[in-house]
Homo-oligomer: A and B are copies of this chain.
Amino acid sequence: GYEPLLSEKNSREVDIETPLPDDLTRDSLELPDLSEPELARHYTRLSQMNYGVESGPFPLGSCTMKYNPKFTEDLAAHPSAAVHPDRPEETVQGTLALLGRTAEYLAEIGGMDDVTLQPPAGAAGEYTGVLIAKAYHEHNGDDRSEIIVPDSAHGTNFASAALAGFDVVELPSGEDGRVDLDALEEAISDETALLMLTNPNTLGLFERDIEEIAEMVHDAGGLLYYDGANLNALLGRARPGDMGFDIMHYNVHKTFATPHGGGGPGAGPVGVVEELTDFLPEPHVRKRGGGYELFEPERSIGKVHGFQGNWLVLIKTCAYIARLGDEGLRDASAKAVLNANYLAEQIDYEVPFGPFHHEFVASAGDQDAADVAKRMLDYGVHPPTTKWPEIVDEALMTEPTEIENKRTLDQLAAAFDAVADEDRETIEAAPERTSARRIDQVSAARSPQLSWQALENSE
């Protein structure tokens, strides 16, 4: 497993000649210079050193790595989808109609009254939601400075709150892994702008007290935010809006099977209840006459993306939801939860807490969870998320999603169990069968080399 860098294959420095005066231009440009066949082989080779959902099981906890239907790619590649964001509304009625429909679908699924599609990722959705909460309180003349986030929440919750200028109040989990109502009581104050919750939480546990939680927050004048990372557990079974959440984001690259693309692009649409619709980002889509139009909501928070977000991703979202429909969505959550429960049942590692839904967090016990993960690579599967949430020792956070079945779950369980039986030396030496062996991350961070130029200079 080794492929030279593009720059090592062939580079060429070309002098710049343009109609511009020399003082406005650079002197030369040096970049890789390879033919199409060479590039095809380069990237084919690189792809062969990469593991995707179609390579095998991918039970990365909290990441909902579903199979990405191919036909949604074809729709995103539709020639009519290639339009400029500054086009007059009447010339992009197709785009607006598709956005409108996607927003309607999502609103229905989340039990929300309206949805913005602008946020380009889940964290951007959180940030959007936080801005909406901020604007709402400000509009009410209510200057609130704090956002409450459970300790088991995704790191983005903390960061998004901070980005919007809030102080973060961290909420310790209760002994059952859920929100501790006493702790919550203590955390809530008249500074509380928002409580951000993931439900089921990152342990896969449904917050059974959600109605009471909502009441407490609302009574204190705060709002309730739903982190949609784990929505796949609830499709067609429960809706954040019905639980008392005021704002939520959707991770379409999780729940709605738009591909994760090695890190993105995703999209993080945000749904809100009626009371908050005036605060949605602009432009917002709505029906008018037989068609659709864009408008600026009355108290819009403004913009969270330079244009209107990750349009091509939203096409895939819409297509996926239309393909599944009610029946398919309900089945997706059923099978996702069945798979997690079945897998947890099969593996030798201890699984504390429960009953869980779409994911579970096992404990590697006296093994190092990161080593366990590396060793699982040798068994040809993608390992779970490790060492998080910290409430479980040496956590192995496992989310098989609905796309596995008994056969592949049994294979996955066999990989877990094989590693569970192995000794420390073996797992510390892992992986052995991958294109690269264990990579030294410490020295990578200690003396960062972030470009081929840096590599050349260090030689």
Question: Which A residues have a C-beta under 8 Å from some C-beta of B?
Answer: 9-10, 35-38, 40-41, 44, 48, 53-56, 67, 69-70, 403, 405, 407-408
Residue pair B67, A54 in contact (C-beta under 8 Å) = no
Beyond A37-B403, A38-B405, list 16 extra A-B contacts (CB 8 Å): A9-B407, A10-B407, A35-B403, A35-B405, A36-B67, A36-B69, A37-B53, A37-B67, A38-B408, A40-B54, A40-B67, A41-B54, A41-B56, A44-B54, A44-B55, A48-B48
The contact of A41 among B35, B48, B55, by CB within 8 Å, is B55
Residues in B whose Cβ lies below 8 Å from that of A9: 407
A67 to B38, CA, bound (A): 9
A289 to B19, CA, bound (A): 46
A38 to B408, CA, bound (A): 9
- Rounded to whole Å, the gap between the CB of A335 and the closest CB of chain B is 11
A69 to B9, CA, bound (A): 21
Closest to A41 in B: B54
From DSSP, what is the main secondary structure of chain A's interface residues?
helix
A9 to B407, CA, bound (A): 9
Residues in B whose Cβ lies below 8 Å from that of A407: 9-10
A139 to B288, CA, bound (A): 74
Residues in B whose Cβ lies below 8 Å from that of A54: 37, 40-41, 44
**Interface-central residue, A35, A56, A403, A408, by most chain B CB under 10 Å:** A403
- Rounded to whole Å, the gap between the CB of A250 and the closest CB of chain B is 22
| For the complex of A and B, 9 pairs with smallest distance between CB atoms | A37-B67, A37-B403, A44-B54, A40-B54, A41-B54, A40-B67, A41-B56, A44-B55, A36-B67
Residues in B whose Cβ lies below 8 Å from that of A53: 37
Residues in B whose Cβ lies below 8 Å from that of A38: 405, 408
A403 to B36, CA, bound (A): 9
A38 to B37, CA, bound (A): 31
A407 to B36, CA, bound (A): 15
A70 to B407, CA, bound (A): 36
Q: Show 11 residue pairs from A and B whose CB-CB distance is below 8 angstroms, ordered by the A residue.
A: A10-B407, A35-B403, A36-B67, A37-B53, A37-B54, A37-B403, A38-B405, A38-B408, A40-B54, A40-B70, A41-B55
